Chain A
Amino acid sequence: MKTLVYIDHFKGEVQPASWEAIGVARNWGTVQAVILGASGEKLVKQAYEYGADEVFFCDDSNLDDYRADLFASTLGALATAQSPDVILFPTTTRGRELAAILAVDLNSGVLADVTALELEGTLLVATRPIYEGKLFEKVVCLGRPQIATLRPRAFPRPSRDESRNGSAIRIEKQGESAVQVEGYAVSESRVSLTDAGVIVAGGRGVTNNPAMAGADEATIARKGFELIGELASVLGGAVGASRAVVDAGYIPYSHQVGQTGKTVAPDLYIACGISGAIQHISGIRGAKLVVAINKDPEAPIFKVARYGVVGDLFQVVPALTEAFRKRLSK
């Protein structure tokens, strides 16, 4: 069985779920990886190290900036030439839409945002969340090749073997793009919540600190997120936020977890001062362990948490940071 894996990267920085896709495909047989765009060539060795058997790349300057139409056409030509049984993408902003377009071009279906896979012969039976994770469905693709996008962190990261290497097989770009890239505004703080192993997130509770009575809400929130950031940093994690504090402008949208923000699947999610609206909960269903700190013992977040502390995050979070620091330095 032959699988083609799309390695999703931005200017040479790979979305790690791409490696997870290689890890999945390795269990089935031959793995071909494809890397498009600027800095792609320097990722070829890494793709071999994670387990690819063959790595294609295209460094045509037209692909320097991601554009869905052009990238999909180039991928489509490769897929037609190589005729893989399966094409895998990470479920990233790019991976999702490339899979969608490729499915139109190849007249196949997409198993989107898959969290588990079984194999029946060469048929993929995919499990994926529906109704925002309130249910799951098992689906199969009736077209060929079978196309799937894999949810970040749903599959293990394969081990990396630095002795593996191979040749970089150059391919040509295909088609043109109707889209012009005018530039980038890189986010104020580069957070990768979907790939984070640990997330410490703040909610409306960050605006409520009796010890800072008289200070304006923004100042209190800044202090709150500073404390949350320190805990995240001791744990090597990322900072998340509920919608309330994003809407209030206390932290950029890129940090937002939940229905209108990001769906995350960390090993540990520490919710600080987050009440736990259903829209927030739907974003953290994939978390392995949820810990909640909230003043209100009735807050719905405690219904999904394994451990809870009823208390003031402005006291509990720094104490937790200190306790982790002590314990982890041992």
Chain B
Amino acid sequence: MKIVTCIKQVPDTEAKISLENGKVQWGDSPLVINPFDEYAVEAALQQKDKHGATVVAICIGPDSAREALKHALAMGADEAILISDAALENLDAQGAAQVLAAAIRKIGDADLVIFGRQSIDSGTGLTPAQIARRLGWPLLSLAGSIELNNGRVRVERVIEEGRQIVSAALPAVLSVVQSIGEPRYPSFMGIRRASRATIPTWSLADLGISAPTPLVEQRAMFAPPSREQPCEFIQGETVTEIAEKLVEKILAEKVL
């Protein structure tokens, strides 16, 4: 069995994000594997543990994105491929789906493709569904648990109303949510293996496709207006007095 996980490299969640001359800055914070994609790698490794599989991590990004792939390798992925091309800067969701679908076809024989729910940078959450459509494979999104049995995959989808239990024949595209289980920490052996691994780079020419036509164009970025007032601490002699004062403050804001 072969499982492909698609990951992205993003600034750490804790990073202070700002704009400088129209460019996004994240200070000294490291670039890391997108937190949701760690769950995707974990989900792939869980299936590998149960059924045996080759897990291939792929990532679109600049050369520095190798670090995210190394993290996946250190967790236990078997292979990693970086897709890098000067023509892939400012890729929109559709473009990413086109490129990743081509890469999945080139890898060949994938039974499962597993994504995280969304990236924490652009955060569109569109790509898993778009890849499923492009490949013509069933989409089982927002999986909280995965079972493989006799060439079929069965998942519990975590939706607004509860859980929807769905199944489909392999190959299939999945996205996973936190309920899948905490991502494992890279082992010492894993880290050593990852540091020695060769990660091939594929260009658009390697994939046999031209640069995707942009369908969404960014016009501007801006920082949200900063909060004008600091926190006002409500004090009083008794908890009842504090509560009553606070209620008056809240009601005066006229949000209710």
Q: Is B61 an interface residue (CB 8 A)?
A: no
Chain B min CB distance to A225 (Å) = 19
| CB neighbours of B141 from chain A (8 A) | 68, 93, 97
Chain B min CB distance to A300 (Å) = 11
Q: Is A315 an interface residue (CB 8 A)?
A: yes
Chain B min CB distance to A309 (Å) = 5
Produce 1/0 per residue, A129-164, CB < 8 A to B: 111111111111111000000000000000000000
A15–B159 alpha-carbon span in the complex (Å): 12
Cβ–Cβ contact A131 & B163, under 8 A: no
Binds A, one of B40-48, B64-72, B89-97, B191-199: B89-97
| CB neighbours of A94 from chain B (8 A) | 159
Produce 1/0 per residue, A16-28, CB < 8 A to B: 0000000000000
Produce 1/0 per residue, A165-203, CB < 8 A to B: 000000000000111111111110010101001100000
Q: Is A207 an interface residue (CB 8 A)?
A: no
Binds B, one of A37-45, A51-59, A109-117: A109-117
Task: Tell me the count of chain B residues lying within 8 A, CB to CB, of chain A.
Answer: 83
Cβ–Cβ contact A308 & B221, under 8 A: no
Cβ–Cβ contact A138 & B218, under 8 A: yes
The residue of chain B having its C-beta at the shortest distance from the C-beta of A290 within the complex is B231
Q: Is B216 an interface residue (CB 8 A)?
A: yes
Cβ–Cβ contact A137 & B168, under 8 A: no
- Residue picked from B122, B140, B161, B220, most chain A C-beta under 10 Å: B161
A247–B90 alpha-carbon span in the complex (Å): 36
A-B interface pairs (CB < 8 A), number: 262
A310–B233 alpha-carbon span in the complex (Å): 7
**Residues 97-129 of A contacting B (Cβ, < 8 Å):** 97, 99-101, 103-105, 107-113, 125, 129
Q: Is B28 an interface residue (CB 8 A)?
A: no
Task: Tell me the count of chain A residues lying within 8 A, CB to CB, of chain B.
Answer: 96
Q: Is B189 an interface residue (CB 8 A)?
A: no
The residue of chain B having its C-beta at the shortest distance from the C-beta of A310 within the complex is B233
A131–B14 alpha-carbon span in the complex (Å): 11
| CB neighbours of B5 from chain A (8 A) | none
Q: Is B203 an interface residue (CB 8 A)?
A: no
The residue of chain A having its C-beta at the shortest distance from the C-beta of B251 within the complex is A327
The residue of chain A having its C-beta at the shortest distance from the C-beta of B14 within the complex is A278
Q: Is B243 an interface residue (CB 8 A)?
A: yes
The residue of chain B having its C-beta at the shortest distance from the C-beta of A267 within the complex is B255
Binds A, one of B50-58, B75-83, B123-131: B123-131
Instruction: Choose from B121, B137, B161 the contact partner of A131 (Cβ within 8 Å).
Output: B121
Produce 1/0 per residue, B16-37, CB < 8 A to A: 1101000010000000000110
Cβ–Cβ contact A133 & B243, under 8 A: no
**Residues 77-119 of B contacting A (Cβ, < 8 Å):** 92-94, 97
Q: Is A92 an interface residue (CB 8 A)?
A: yes
Chain A min CB distance to B58 (Å) = 19
Cβ–Cβ contact A142 & B216, under 8 A: yes
Cβ–Cβ contact A190 & B232, under 8 A: no
Produce 1/0 per residue, B214-255, CB < 8 A to A: 111111111110010101111000011011101111110101
The residue of chain B having its C-beta at the shortest distance from the C-beta of A91 within the complex is B125
With A113-B124, A323-B244, A327-B247 given, is the CB distance from A69 to B139 under 8 Å? yes
Cβ–Cβ contact B177 & A260, under 8 A: yes
With A140-B217, A279-B13 given, is the CB distance from A184 to B163 under 8 Å? yes
Q: Is A77 an interface residue (CB 8 A)?
A: no
Q: Is B1 an interface residue (CB 8 A)?
A: no
Instruction: Choose from B24, B224, B256 the contact partner of A235 (Cβ within 8 Å).
Output: B256
With A130-B121, A179-B168, A184-B164 given, is the CB distance from A112 to B138 under 8 Å? no
**Residues 172-193 of B contacting A (Cβ, < 8 Å):** 177-179
Give the A-binding residues of B (Cβ under 8 A).
11, 13-14, 16-17, 19, 24, 35-36, 92-94, 97, 120-130, 132-134, 137-142, 144, 154, 156-169, 177-179, 214-224, 227, 229, 231-234, 239-240, 242-244, 246-251, 253, 255-256
28 contacts between A and B (CB under 8 A): A13-B161, A68-B129, A68-B132, A68-B141, A93-B160, A105-B133, A107-B215, A109-B92, A131-B121, A137-B218, A137-B221, A138-B219, A142-B216, A179-B140, A179-B166, A179-B168, A181-B164, A182-B165, A185-B162, A186-B162, A190-B162, A198-B256, A254-B162, A267-B255, A289-B250, A302-B233, A306-B231, A323-B246
Give the B-binding residues of A (Cβ under 8 A).
10-11, 13, 15, 65-69, 72, 92-94, 96-97, 99-101, 103-105, 107-113, 125, 129-143, 177-187, 190, 192, 194, 197-198, 235, 253-254, 256, 259-261, 267-268, 278-279, 282, 285, 288-289, 291-292, 297, 302-311, 315-316, 319-320, 322-324, 327
